[in-house]
């Protein structure tokens, strides 16, 4: 046995050397596929915490697009998330359709929605990144001009958790299928952290496993769009999961990862995931 090992060892070393010589060339020749998991609105404190908990447990970079209203409701939670390096980007203050706002009230009103988000973040010392996502994905050239004047870069999505559709219309694990349908080199998945989007966080670990198995690299939006490397501090992110919502002196809110939904169970409905009875 010993002598066999001795003869094999040099072979391993040669194999390792060859692998090391080949690796740099093969890595640069292959386009790395990237996926950014994004979570909008932030109307549910629990689901915000659970999304971060799963990101921490799997060390998966994520990006948030909360409203300014959510920043105002949970300022210390958002500060802790932002301080951990998880990007927080602009989704307006009140979530209006910006095209309609522009048509009805003009550019100043659109500007107030986007600048207002920045102001709320500044007042609460919440670090934010200069990206924006218009509510409902509604934007036009006029709205874009306002966003650009504030130095904001547009970030839409390619795939979604389908978690804004009516819950009682035969909504089953379609969320998993839609979220994992991305095959492009750059996939952006849209989900929500709202009161009735429990299925999204309950399917998140499975969605992460799916992209991982297909060789996708997980990135934040600034990383995907401009190559800005993410600097997520996972120890800080772990603390953010239970950070007091309003004031740093408030009580911590210990939160564990949600019980996952079996994504192969085609009978499990969104309503069940949210504890709702449909008639």
Site for Zn ion, rule CB under 5 A: 40-41, 135
Considering the complex, state which of residue 24 and residue 166 has its C-beta at the smaller distance from Zn ion.
166
| CB nearer Zn ion, residue 65 or residue 216 | 65
d(Cα 162, Cα 197) in Å, to the nearest integer? 10
At closest approach, how far in Å is the CB of 144 from Zn ion? 18
H or E segment and range at residue 35: strand 34-41
Q: Are 207 and 179 in contact (CB under 8 A)?
A: yes
Please, what is the minimum distance in Å from the beta carbon of residue 133 to Zn ion?
A: 7
5 burial via Cβ count (<10 Å: 0-12, 13-18, 19+): exposed
Query: Min. distance of Cβ 95 from Zn ion in angstroms?
Result: 6
Rounded to a whole number of angstroms, the minimum distance from the CB of residue 97 to Zn ion is: 11
Question: In this complex, which beta carbon is closest to Zn ion, that of residue 40 or of residue 113?
Answer: 40
Closest residue to Zn ion in the complex (CB):
40
Instruction: Between 96 and 135, name the residue whose CB sits nearer to Zn ion.
Output: 135
Q: What does the block give as tokens for 22?
A: 């080949």
Which of 135/258 has CB closer to Zn ion?
135
Q: Which of 155/272 has CB closer to Zn ion?
A: 155
Strand pairing class (153-154; 186-192): unpaired
Nearer to Zn ion, 40 or 223 (CB): 40
Q: Is 214 helix (H, G, I), strand (E, B) or coil?
A: coil
Return the beta strands (E) in 103-221 as ranges.
131-132, 153-154, 159-160, 186-192, 217-218
Residues in Cβ contact with 219 at an 8 Å cutoff, skipping those fewer than 6 apart: 34, 35, 36, 61, 230
**Beta carbon of residue 41, minimum distance to Zn ion (angstroms, whole number):** 4
Distance from C-alpha of 170 to C-alpha of 278, rounded to nearest angstrom: 10
Q: Could you tell me how many helices (H) and strands (E) the chain has, helices first? A: 12, 7
Least distance in angstroms from the C-beta of 90 to Zn ion: 11
Please say whether the beta carbons of 232 and 224 come within 8 A: no
Smallest gap from residue 190 Cβ to Zn ion (A): 9
């Amino acid at each position: 046995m010993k002598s066999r090992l001795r003869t094999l060892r040099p072979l391993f070393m040669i194999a390792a050397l060859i692998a090391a010589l080949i690796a740099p060339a093969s890595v640069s020749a292959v386009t790395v596929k990237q996926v950014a998991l994004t979570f909008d609105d932030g109307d549910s404190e629990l689901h915000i915490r659970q999304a971060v908990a799963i990101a921490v447990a799997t060390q998966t970079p994520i990006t948030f697009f909360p409203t300014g209203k959510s920043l105002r409701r949970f300022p210390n939670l958002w500060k802790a998330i932002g301080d951990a390096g998880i990007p927080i980007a602009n989704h307006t203050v009140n979530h209006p359709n910006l095209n309609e706002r522009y048509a009805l009230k003009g550019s100043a009103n659109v500007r107030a929605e986007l600048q207002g988000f920045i102001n709320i973040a500044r007042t609460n010392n919440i670090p934010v990144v200069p990206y924006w996502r218009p509510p409902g994905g509604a934007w036009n050239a006029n709205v874009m001009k306002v966003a650009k004047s504030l130095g904001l870069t547009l970030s839409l999505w390619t795939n979604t958790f389908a978690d804004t559709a009516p819950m009682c219309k035969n909504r089953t694990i379609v969320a998993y299928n839609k979220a994992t349908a991305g095959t492009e080199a750059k996939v952006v998945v849209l989900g929500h952290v709202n009161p009735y989007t429990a299925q999204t966080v309950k399917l998140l670990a499975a969605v992460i496993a799916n992209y991982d198995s297909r060789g996708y690299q997980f990135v934040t939006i600034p990383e995907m769009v401009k190559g800005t490397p993410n600097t997520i501090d996972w120890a800080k992110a772990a603390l953010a999961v239970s950070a007091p919502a309003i004031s740093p002196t408030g009580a911590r809110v210990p939160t564990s990862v949600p019980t996952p939904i079996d994504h192969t169970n085609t009978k499990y409905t969104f309503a069940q995931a949210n504890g709702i009875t449909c008639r």
